């Protein structure tokens, strides 16, 4: 017996990537990631058949996303990245702010990037 599970569709020999389960009480077909082991009353489907899946009329299809699949960056992710790049590109402003911070913190002697040189509390 092959360790790779195959698609449950007739005459399809491709490897399974998703598991289909019917919830008859709710008239719902649930398509999720491949189950850890084959169960009776569940159907393993290949990528092609899982994409083309349709449910009977009046039924709802619930597609659970695979957590391991890479997700596309959202607008917020891209904006945060752009803001970080802009911040890193302004070394003159950060140096000016650090100079002003020295007067506010009597313990700080010098600053280089994110590192600070502090005066000993004894002196």
pLDDT tens over the chain, length 123 residues: 557 899 999 999 999 999 999 999 999 999 999 988 888 889 999 999 999 999 889 999 999 876 555 566 677 777 888 888 888 777 655 555 555 544 456 677 777 777 777 777 776
- Return the structure tokens found at 98: 């650090």
Buried b (16+ CB within 10 A) or exposed e, 29-48: bbbbebeeeeeeeebbbbee
Contact 45, 8 (CB under 8 A): yes
Q: What pLDDT was estimated at residue 8? A: 93
pTM of the model as a whole? 0.52
Q: How far apart are CA 43 and CA 9, in angstroms?
A: 8
Contact 34, 18 (CB under 8 A): yes
Q: What pLDDT was estimated at residue 102? A: 45
Q: What pLDDT was estimated at residue 1? A: 52
């Amino acid at each position: 017996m092959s360790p790779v599970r195959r698609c449950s569709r007739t005459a399809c020999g491709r490897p399974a990537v998703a598991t289909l389960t019917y919830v008859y009480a709710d008239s719902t077909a649930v398509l999720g990631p491949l189950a850890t082991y084959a169960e009776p009353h569940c159907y393993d489907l290949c990528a092609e058949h899982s994409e083309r899946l349709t449910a009977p009329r009046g039924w709802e299809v619930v597609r659970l996303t695979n957590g391991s699949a890479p997700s596309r960056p959202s607008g917020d992710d891209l904006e945060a990245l752009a803001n970080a790049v802009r911040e890193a590109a302004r070394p003159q402003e950060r140096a000016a702010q650090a100079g002003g911070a020295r007067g506010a913190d009597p313990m700080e002697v010098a600053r280089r990037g994110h590192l600070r040189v502090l005066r000993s509390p004894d002196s």
